[in-house]
Amino acid sequence: MYIVLYNIVIKPNQEEKFIEAWKGLTELIYKYEGSLGSRLHKKDALNFFAYAQWPDKNTFDNAGENLPEEVNHFRDTMRETCETFEVLEKFEMIEDLLKQLPSE
């Protein structure tokens, strides 16, 4: 599995708009480009961290050509709501021990 880490700083009072655009874009990338989805985390009022999962580096590197026109709305909204949206790192996952529920 291939992981891409993002650091995001949004503009003041744009959180709801940004989150909706992030969700819409993530869903389209999942549906049309073969990603495994993404998780968004909030550090404080303006700072977010996200990571996207891909089956492999090749799928990530070749993504982008299959997205529908609808993607432009989400990309434009993200540009409008973000001060910065940067890739921090890209990694190959070695082990995955995340669980959905705590051990009982």
51-60: pLDDT as tens digits: 999 999 999 9
With bands split at pLDDT 50, 70 and 90, how would you rate the model's confidence at 98?
confident
Query: Which residues lie closer than 8 Å to 50 by C-beta, 6 or more apart?
Result: 5, 6, 8, 22, 38, 39, 40, 41
Q: Is 32:68 a contact under the CB 8 Å cutoff?
A: yes
Sequence spans of domains, the chain: 2-92
Q: Which CATH architecture has domain 2-92?
A: 2-Layer Sandwich (3.30)
Which of 68, 69, 92, 88 lies closest to 7 in space, CA to CA?
88
Cα 63 from chain centroid (whole Å) = 13
Rounded Cα distance between 19 and 24, Å, is 9
Determine the pLDDT at residue 52: 97
Q: What is the pLDDT of residues 19-63, one digit of tens each?
A: 999 999 999 999 999 999 999 999 999 999 999 999 999 999 999
